[in-house]
Amino acid sequence: MLNAGGYRSDGRRQYELRTISIDLSPQGSGADGSASLTHGLTQVNVCVFGPREAKMRSQTYHDRANVNIEVAIAAFSASERRKRGRGDKRILELSQTLKSTFEPVIQTSLYPRSQIDIYIQVLQQDGGLLQACINATTLALANAGIPLYDFVCAVTGGVHSTSPLLDLTLLEENDLPNVTVAVMPRSGKVTVVSMETRLHVDRFEEIFRLAGEAAKAIHVEMKKSVRDRTEQLVASMQSVGRPPTGVDAGDEY
């Protein structure tokens, strides 16, 4: 796991994160916002639709929007081919975790009786699935122009004997005790702590703190990509004729 030189199996240092790449361009799905995110070899694709008319009347709330999250894991995403249906317990748990993460972050009260649909497609898995899903969903929501209180940035942390590791691969995740932490960077509030293995209580605090810091590093990347995309769109909007912030700008709302 950690060799004599202090390197991990994929050649990273202890606290080193994997390469993050983010694509916020629309992917032809007609979604209101979409994001494609990779953490090393883990890749997820998120499409956000809405806020739109709720399809099921029983699922509407008179005072807020309903957030509906569906996760699909491609059969080819892991090294062993495995088909998971929509009713699979692990997938249901994952989408439930995501739903409870994002419901308080989205300003749902602005859209009563509406529905926000979030479709997550997992294309490759190499550890940090929850982390990738959370980060990609945040980006897709921001890209769809849905009001959020803050970004949610997640990262996994683990421990090898006594040395903490960040952003685990599948290999490390299978063998080491690990925890996924999601924070809202502006306020520093922790929104998710998810642990599927047992972790010694003495190690927990250190990993928890480290993951919080790593999430801030991820936030910088996410913020940059959203900013670049916004800048690009604003530039093309202003390229022709009258800029959108014209004299009658006030009556837009």
Partner 1 sequence: MFEFTSFRQPADDYFVNNVEDVDMDVDDEDLFETDGMNLTWPGKSLTSAQEYMRGHGTYVDNEEVIASVSGLVERVNKLITVRAVRTRYNPEVGDLVVGRITEVQPRRWKVDGNSRQDAVLMLSSVNLPGGVQRRKVESDELQMRSFFEEGDLLVAEVQAFFGDGTMSLHTRSLSYGKLRNGQLVTVPPILIRRLKSHFISLPCGVDLILGLNGYIWVSKHIKENEREGEEAFDAEAVYSNRNDVIDDSTRLAISRVTNLINVLASRSIPLTDTVLLDAYDWSLEQEGDVKDLLQEDAGDALVATILAKG
Q: Total residues at the site for partner 1 (CB under 8 A)?
A: 55
- Strands (E) in 125-228, as ranges, are 153-160, 163-166, 178-184, 189-195
Both tokens of residue 110? 């602005």
By the rule CB under 8 A, 190 interacts with partner 1: no
Residue 130 φ then ψ, to 5°: -60, -40
By the rule CB under 8 A, 245 interacts with partner 1: yes
Candidate ranges 29-37, 70-78, 122-130, 194-202; the one touching partner 1 (CB under 8 A): 29-37
- Nearest CB to partner 1, comparing residues 120 and 142: 142
Residue 217 φ then ψ, to 5°: -65, -40
In the list 18, 32, 44, 207, the residue contacting partner 1 (rule: CB under 8 A) is 32
Ranges within 126-165 binding partner 1 (CB under 8 A)? 142-151
Query: How would DSSP label each residue in 196-209?
Result: SS---HHHHHHHHH
In the list 67, 68, 77, 111, the residue contacting partner 1 (rule: CB under 8 A) is 111
- Nearest CB to partner 1, comparing residues 49 and 73: 49
Candidate ranges 4-12, 123-131, 201-209, 229-237; the one touching partner 1 (CB under 8 A): 229-237
89-102 and 129-143 helices, crossing angle to 10°: 50
Residue keyed to tokens 């994160």: 17
Minimum distance, C-beta of residue 31 to partner 1, in the bound complex (Å): 11
By the rule CB under 8 A, 23 interacts with partner 1: no
The DSSP call for residue 125 is: -
What gap in Å lies between CA 103 and CA 94, rounded to an integer? 14
Distances (CA, A) of 163 to 199, 206, 222: 13, 10, 27
Residue ranges binding partner 1 (CB under 8 A): 26, 30, 32-33, 50-53, 62, 107, 111-114, 142-151, 184-187, 223, 226-227, 229-234, 236-253
